[in-house]
């Protein structure tokens, strides 16, 4: 890996420093209690995670909290699986939110992303698609609806809401 080629980090520019320097917008973190217990679950076991995380009650709670904290604002949901992204989009639609699920080989991916950027879709629910290389500065919210132990992945996900955009005071995670 990269660690074999590079032994010394010569420079690090942290997310916090970029926020302090006003390169990125500040973020507000909101913790939502959904009574989730992942004790003993392998974080790489997608099937086990999906059974625990992707439940109608939990998805409804997350959708309600989107309405409470971000109602109408562009947001991205990170799910544990494609099925979870679809179910989360359905839960949001059930709350009156225009939401779509999108994933890597989705044949309608371009239409959905273009619709999101045009404001026709309020929330995109995804599984491992919008973490890197997706840049839409108007995103105001990121719903981390999946666990991760990876600091890099966590920074990539919350980073979707840190881009500066006119009228945007902060990103909500």
If pLDDT is split at 50, 70 and 90, which confidence band does 3 have? low
How far is it, in rounded angstroms, from Cα 69 to Cα 170? 12
Non-local CB neighbours of 158 within 8 Å, separated by 6+ positions? 15, 27, 142, 144, 171, 173
pLDDT exceeds 90 at position 2:
no
Q: What 8-state DSSP symbol labels residue 2?
A: H
If pLDDT is split at 50, 70 and 90, which confidence band does 91 have? very high
- Kindly state the tokens that stand for 19: 């926020």
pLDDT attached to residue 55: 95
Mean of per-residue pLDDT scores for the chain? 92
**Half-sphere exposure in the Cβ direction for 159 (13 Å, CA):** 18
pLDDT attached to residue 125: 98
> For the whole prediction, is pTM greater than 0.85?
yes
């Amino acid at each position: 890996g990269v660690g074999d080629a590079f032994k010394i980090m010569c420079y690090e520019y942290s997310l916090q420093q970029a926020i302090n320097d006003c390169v990125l917008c500040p973020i507000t973190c909101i913790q939502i209690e959904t009574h989730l217990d992942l004790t003993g679950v392998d974080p790489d076991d997608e099937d086990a995670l999906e059974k625990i995380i992707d439940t109608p009650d939990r998805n409804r709670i997350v959708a309600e909290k989107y309405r409470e904290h971000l109602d109408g604002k562009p947001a991205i949901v990170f799910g544990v699986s494609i099925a979870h992204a679809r179910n989360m989009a359905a839960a949001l639609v059930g709350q009156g939110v225009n939401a779509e699920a999108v994933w890597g080989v989705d044949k309608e991916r371009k239409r959905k992303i273009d619709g999101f950027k045009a404001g026709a879709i309020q929330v995109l629910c995804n599984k491992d698609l919008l973490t890197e290389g997706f840049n839409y500065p108007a995103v105001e919210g990121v719903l981390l609806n999946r666990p991760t132990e990876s600091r890099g992945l966590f920074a990539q996900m919350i980073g979707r809401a840190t881009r500066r955009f006119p009228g945007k005071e902060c990103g909500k995670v």
